[in-house]
């Protein structure tokens, strides 16, 4: 079984996440791109740039959608959307 690496997408530039995924894929690892909230769009962009520009044979194995309950600074409970995209070569 291949090892699996998780890339958490946040506020860094898009290409830094693409590079991290690319390096992991070249080492023969499966990659899970995870994001929540406003970073979900960037996570999708990371996978699309990776697939369209760098790894033409990239396979999207699984996409999981969900939500997490977080406590805000004011003490209120907030639901935040999450996404996990598993890709392999």
At 46-82, the pLDDT tens digits run: 999 999 999 999 999 999 999 999 998 899 999 999 9
pLDDT band with cut points at 50, 70 and 90 for residue 1:
low
Question: What's the mean pLDDT in 3-27?
Answer: 95
Assign a CATH topology to domain 4-88.
Translation Initiation Factor IF3 (3.30.110)
Residue 87's pLDDT is 96
Segment 48-57 long-range contacts (CB within 8 Å, at least 24 positions apart): 49/14, 49/15, 49/18, 50/18, 50/21, 50/22, 50/25, 50/87, 51/87, 54/18, 54/22, 55/22, 55/25, 55/89, 57/89
């Amino acid at each position: 079984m291949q090892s699996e690496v998780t890339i958490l997408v946040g506020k860094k530039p898009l290409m830094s996440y693409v590079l991290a995924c690319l390096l992991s894929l070249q080492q023969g690892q499966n990659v899970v791109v995870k994001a929540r909230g406003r970073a979900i769009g960037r996570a999708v962009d990371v996978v699309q740039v990776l697939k369209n520009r760098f790894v033409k044979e990239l396979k999207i194995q699984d996409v999981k959608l969900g939500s997490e309950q977080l406590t805000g600074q004011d003490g209120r409970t907030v639901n935040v959307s999450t996404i996990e995209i598993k890709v392999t070569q």
